[in-house]
Structure 1
Amino acid sequence: MADYFTITRTLRAPRELVFEALTKPEHFAVWFGTAAVEVPQDTLTMDVRPGGAFRAVMQLPDGNRIDWAGSYVEVDPPSHLAMTLTDQPGDEVGLPVLFDLEEVDGGTQLTISQDRSDFTDEQVAATIAGYNAFIDDIERVVEQLQTT
């Protein structure tokens, strides 16, 4: 049985817009990289449908890169997205990552849940920090989308 950890934040935007930020490549490249890391558009493949594949490359500031891969398991716009994610493409299926979007007063509650797997407490803490950075950038993306 999976042991999930979760991050929940409320974004001041309609959930359709938050879902768009999660699933459109031009927005995904911004938040998945965060302000510190580049995800070049030409490395990004997103076939957002059940069974569709995901690939992205993070170009790190130190010159290294991380290759990401996964597949979309469930796609239920604008409320739910489930995918697998791994930084070891070809070696494993990847860990389940769930994005749940709920309408709340003032916007959308975004909950990201990931299977802890064999992560140490330190790895869980680092992953939570990474997801919080993602959400910070998702918030900036949706704010920008609302003003255009």
Structure 2
Amino acid sequence: MTEYFTITRTLRAPRELVFDAITKPEHFAVWFGTAAVHVPQESLTMDVRPGGQFRAVMLLPDGNRIDWSGEYRVVQPPSHLAMTLTDQPGDDPGLPVLFDLDEVDGGTQLTIRQDRADFTDEQVQATIAGYNAFVDDIERVLEAIQGA
């Protein structure tokens, strides 16, 4: 049985705009890197359709880099996205990360779920912290898009 860990946040933006922030390279490069990490726009490959490929490079402050890859499995704008995501290109990426966007009063509830797989409790907590940092930056992207 699959065990997921989940984060849920409400964003003050219409879900179409949140979906765009998640799936358009010019926005993705901002939040996926967070404020501390650079994701060069030219490193992104985002073929956002079922079977489409994803690639990105994170340049870390210490000079190291992380190569990410994945595949879009389900794309249902503006409500759902499922994509595999791994920092070990060439290895089995496992089950997809699930992004669900639901309309709520005041905006969009974004829920991100990922299979725990063989993560330790510490790895789960670190990944949750990473997703929360991503969502913090998605909020900033949305504010910039909306001119807030």
Structure 2 residue matching 1:100: 3-state secondary structure: strand
Cα drift, residue 104 of structure 1: 0.2
Are 1:26 and 2:59 counterparts?
no
Aligned length: 148
- Root-mean-square deviation over aligned CA pairs: 1.0
* More moved, 17-26 vs 94-103: 94-103
TM-score, normalization: structure 1?
A: 0.98
Runs of 4+ in 1 over 4 A off after TM superposition: none
Are 1:54 and 2:54 counterparts?
yes
Cα drift, residue 94 of structure 1: 3.8
Which residue pairs with 2:109 in the alignment? 109
Separation in 2, partners of 1:95, 1:119: 13
% identical aligned pairs: 82
Structure 2: state its 5+ residue gaps: none
Which residue pairs with 1:138 in the alignment? 138
Check the 8 A contact 1:86/1:95 in 2, yes or no. Answer: no
Structure 1 pair 40/49, CA: closer, same or farther in 2 (3 Å)?
same
Which residue pairs with 2:16 in the alignment? 16
TM-score, normalization: structure 2?
A: 0.98
Structure 1: state its 5+ residue gaps: none
Check the 8 A contact 1:18/1:142 in 2, yes or no. Answer: yes
Separation in 2, partners of 1:27, 1:139: 11
Separation in 1, partners of 2:46, 2:62: 26
Separation in 2, partners of 1:67, 1:74: 22
The aligned runs of 1:47-86 (5 Å cut-off) are: 47-86=47-86
Counterpart of 1:86, as a letter, is: T
Check the 8 A contact 1:73/1:82 in 2, yes or no. Answer: yes
